[in-house]
Structure 1
Amino acid sequence: MKINAKRRMRLPAFHPVAWGVIIGTFLSRTGFFMTLPFLGIYLGKVKGIDPATIGAILAVSLFAGTLCSFVGGALSDRLGRYLVMIASMALWSLVLAGFAFANATWMFFVLSGLNGLCRSIFEPTARALLADVTPAEQRSDVFNARYFAINIGGAIGPLVGLKLGAGGASSFLPFMVSAGIFAVYAVVLVFFMIAFNQQLPEKSAPVAMRKMVQIVFTDKVFLYFLLGNVFVAGAYSHLDSTLSQYIGHDRVEAYSFLFVVNTLSVLVFQYPLAKLMKRFSSLTALKAGCLLFGLGLFGFGVFHNIFMLSLSMVIFTIGEILCFVIGDVLIGEIAPEHLRGAYYGASGFAFIGQSACAWLGGILLNVFGFGQGPLIFGILMLLTFLAFPFFHRGQQLRGQQHRVERTSGVVA
């Protein structure tokens, strides 16, 4: 019995680099959430910048990240994962320190753009590296571990940031601590490059950027996944945009409590869901996820009781886990090894839906008013459901590819 207990407690046998990325993800996300969620408050209260300009500053980061995500992933295919990750993390550290010293409004625009750039370069490269060093049968587990680390960092970071004074006149220290965390991570990545670079798959001849674009964006399975993910990313954006306005305008405590429910739900359901969804294909999991996303959204508009709102958040979070974790697994399955970074980078284009749907949610609230929750969130639910036919078509095409491959194998 004792031996069995020890076996159950044993950590997954991931590659050391995978564990380095997972632990680094926890530390960097803790540093990220210590400061950047409070940036809008800091710019308004401390720097005296008007709300419209603050909105523009924050939007620059999102647009820069969306536009540059493909380039970041593609560069890692050409130059190597470690070099791109080290360079982006080192620059990211300087950007965070820059927020502590900047005074002019134009500086914050530049820093915000660089923040989005660094994130869009680092994130797809880190995900591609995880897929590189992890066997196919373990990828679901490793991406679940990464997502777990993201959420733990997201829960701890704001608390630490508040303790250190983030968002107020004493925000200098949180920014510098965050910059220090990112700088340490860059140094750790240098160590991993020296120790483990030879264990990555051998590089094939570099592929020209134009050829990369042609290959990635003519992959029909990936394109259907990407189109579906536009609506999934849009659904997620309502958590801190439409929902924050709808519930937060007169029930701030309820909105804060729902965020706690979201974090706890990730921690409770992530691994049971990962085990369950191994029985199904990735695109089946994505279809289930988009339906749950939509149902959770609708619940936010229909219910006022905190218990039913919490239940809606649990349903919403299960959809979030399925879509975001399994989406990473699917890309690892369909991307050629030598273009894995480009595929992960191109997946960032789906977050166009994030900005578009956040804007649409605000329009709906403005047109219909806060008293029309069922109508507003019903519309948002139906928009989320639009992901389903794209995922379903991608699944059909993937099934056809598998049948052709099996037939070819038999003929050979």
Structure 2
Amino acid sequence: MRGLQRWWQETAGGLPATFWYLWAGILINRAGAFAMLFLSLYLTDARGASEALAGTVVGAYGAGGAVGVLLGGVLADRWGRRATLVTAHLIAGGLMVALALSRHLVLIAALAALVGVVHSMPGPAFVAAIVDLVPEQRRSRAFNLQFWAFNLGMAVASLLAGVLAEASFLALFLVDAAATLATAIVIAWKVPETLGRATTPPVGRAEAGGRRPGLRTALTDRIFLTFVALTFVLAVLTMQTSTIMPLAMRADGLGPSSYGLVVALGGALIVLGQLFVPRLIDGHRKDVVLAASTALMALGFGALALANGLAVYLVAAVVWTVGSMLAAPPNAQINADLAPPALRGRYQSVFYLTFPAASFVAPTLGGVSLQYLGAGHWLIVGALGLLAAGAHLLAGPPRERRVAALRRATDAATSRAVSTVGAGRSTEGRTADPAAAGERSSAS
């Protein structure tokens, strides 16, 4: 019993109550976010769209997502984390209802693009709020739990979506809208604004001409962009499972049920095993953990060059899933560490751009590669992953020096702010004392 309590304390202990409300919001949101998974099927089966038109509408949703992550990051820093989260979820719920009731394909395409925007806006705000709330020494476990909630919610969504889609597409969209609105209610009710907790003055590199640091700061931060580029490679590897691997399995004579089994195995491993990751990686350098995790993913996908049956795919899925599980906490923590407090939302938005970018690059280049190189495609994917693993080891030391410098600057700014407040109170006291003495003298 004590061992179980110790494990739980190491995995989820010491986190503020507000974090758990954010965590619940993420879980509810992901568990109900299934309608867009069936958007192409809805368009072709229920609205009579061609496959090409359905693909264009789904692409509009993805394009909206790229806009949404940038908008969400800017609003999270300027407007507030809570305000951004509540507004995005409320608008998303309304748009899902409108999408369920729309009949014209042009209107559906426009609504899909807008849904893409508001679906992507909460990502930077969620992470920025977690960084605001959770002390640095506990952020790794917080991000691990966030990743677990995301995948647990997706697993639930996958189970519910198929049932609802067969029953009614209208129910699919309306239940999605209800889950989105429920998330907005939880956040509005239980999550206070966290932006004000970052009370230190803006700390970061000054922009040219002395302009106030903003999105441009993140887009010109070379150390941060190097990390983003390595995360992009990780995202490209991850996207292989949903874009290129189904085609490769079909070429190997394996049907949809086999593909579903491989995907389900990965999801089950994450749901069952992610909570044990903190004990495995605590005490290890983040760049070493990321190098090892990326190498595991490279080996897993590279092994598909030898695949000739379902067993190889299943074993490879275990390898790359373990890699993705190990990568999640340090990846999120480094992203948080590199962001100046006043620019957390903006840095998160640039970081989140890697995912829509990877969702475009992975199928576009991967399809050509698989067509012309066959099994050689997986050797290229594996080599790319191993190069990224080595790059993590090279980029780690300067990245840690930047983080240490940022911490020193933040601590110094906090000390100056505290000193200024203290001096102001002292001055007020000295100003008040003579007046009080004068009043006492007059009274006597």
Q: Same fold (TM over 0.5)?
A: yes
Q: Corresponding residue for 1:123?
A: 123
1:174 counterpart (172, 175, 178): 172
TM-fit CA distance, 1:407:
11
Larger radius of gyration: 2
2:353 pairs with 1:355: no
Deviation track 1:61-91 (CA, whole Å, cap 9, x = no partner) reads 2222224423311221111111111111111
Calculate the TM-score normalised by the size of structure 1: 0.89
Q: Corresponding residue for 2:427?
A: none
Give the paired residue count: 400
Do 1:290 and 1:385's aligned partners in 2 also have CA atoms closer than 8 Å? yes
Q: Corresponding residue for 1:72?
A: 72
Taking a change above 3 Å as real, the CA distance of residues 278 and 220 of structure 1, as seen in their structure-2 partners, is farther
Map 1:138-287; keep pairs closer than 5 Å.
138-164=138-164, 166=165, 168=166, 170-193=168-191, 200-202=197-199, 204=201, 211-248=213-250, 250-251=253-254, 252-287=256-291
Q: Corresponding residue for 2:17?
A: 16
TM-fit CA distance, 1:365:
2.6
Deviation track 1:175-214 (CA, whole Å, cap 9, x = no partner) reads 1111011112112221135x56597333747999973133
Taking a change above 3 Å as real, the CA distance of residues 160 and 399 of structure 1, as seen in their structure-2 partners, is closer
Q: For the residues of structure 1 that align with 2:307 and 2:218, how far apart are their CA atoms?
A: 42
TM-fit CA distance, 1:354:
2.9
Q: For the residues of structure 2 that align with 1:407 and 1:76, how far apart are their CA atoms?
A: 24
Classify the secondary structure of the residue corresponding to 2:220.
coil
Q: For the residues of structure 2 that align with 1:407 and 1:54, how far apart are their CA atoms?
A: 52
Taking a change above 3 Å as real, the CA distance of residues 219 and 390 of structure 1, as seen in their structure-2 partners, is farther
Q: For the residues of structure 2 that align with 1:362 and 1:73, how far apart are their CA atoms?
A: 32
TM-fit CA distance, 1:314:
1.0
Q: For the residues of structure 1 that align with 2:117 and 2:366, how far apart are their CA atoms?
A: 26
Q: For the residues of structure 2 that align with 1:324 and 1:8, how far apart are their CA atoms?
A: 19
Q: For the residues of structure 2 that align with 1:182 and 1:407, how far apart are their CA atoms?
A: 40
Taking a change above 3 Å as real, the CA distance of residues 4 and 289 of structure 1, as seen in their structure-2 partners, is closer
Map 1:334-349; keep pairs closer than 5 Å.
334-349=338-353
TM-fit CA distance, 1:377:
1.0
TM-fit CA distance, 1:273:
2.6
The amino acid of 2:225's aligned partner reads: L
Larger relative contact order (Cα-Cα within 8 Å, sequence gap ≥ 6) = 1
Taking a change above 3 Å as real, the CA distance of residues 324 and 119 of structure 1, as seen in their structure-2 partners, is farther
Taking a change above 3 Å as real, the CA distance of residues 212 and 9 of structure 1, as seen in their structure-2 partners, is closer
Do 1:221 and 1:395's aligned partners in 2 also have CA atoms closer than 8 Å? no
Taking a change above 3 Å as real, the CA distance of residues 403 and 21 of structure 1, as seen in their structure-2 partners, is closer
Taking a change above 3 Å as real, the CA distance of residues 210 and 239 of structure 1, as seen in their structure-2 partners, is farther
2:321 pairs with 1:298: no
Unaligned runs of 5+ in 1: none
Deviation track 1:102-128 (CA, whole Å, cap 9, x = no partner) reads 211112221221122112211111011
Q: For the residues of structure 2 that align with 1:323 and 1:276, how far apart are their CA atoms?
A: 12
Q: For the residues of structure 1 that align with 2:403 and 2:162, how far apart are their CA atoms?
A: 51
**Percent identity of paired positions between Structure 1 and Structure 2:** 21
Map 1:26-65; keep pairs closer than 5 Å.
26-33=27-34, 35-65=35-65
Classify the secondary structure of the residue corresponding to 1:280.
coil
Q: Corresponding residue for 2:334?
A: 330
Taking a change above 3 Å as real, the CA distance of residues 162 and 231 of structure 1, as seen in their structure-2 partners, is same
Do 1:46 and 1:169's aligned partners in 2 also have CA atoms closer than 8 Å? no
Q: For the residues of structure 2 that align with 1:222 and 1:266, how far apart are their CA atoms?
A: 28
The amino acid of 1:213's aligned partner reads: L
Q: For the residues of structure 2 that align with 1:404 and 1:46, how far apart are their CA atoms?
A: 56
- Please give the root-mean-square deviation of Cα atoms over the aligned residues, in Å: 2.8
Do 2:236 and 2:359's aligned partners in 1 also have CA atoms closer than 8 Å? yes
TM-fit CA distance, 1:279:
1.9
The amino acid of 1:202's aligned partner reads: T
Q: 200-209 vs 331-340, which deviates more? A: 200-209
Q: For the residues of structure 2 that align with 1:51 and 1:198, how far apart are their CA atoms?
A: 44
Taking a change above 3 Å as real, the CA distance of residues 4 and 360 of structure 1, as seen in their structure-2 partners, is closer
Taking a change above 3 Å as real, the CA distance of residues 106 and 7 of structure 1, as seen in their structure-2 partners, is same
Q: 338-347 vs 92-101, which deviates more? A: 92-101
Taking a change above 3 Å as real, the CA distance of residues 300 and 402 of structure 1, as seen in their structure-2 partners, is same
The amino acid of 2:145's aligned partner reads: A
The amino acid of 1:183's aligned partner reads: L
Classify the secondary structure of the residue corresponding to 2:353.
helix
TM-fit CA distance, 1:399:
4.1
Do 2:77 and 2:195's aligned partners in 1 also have CA atoms closer than 8 Å? no
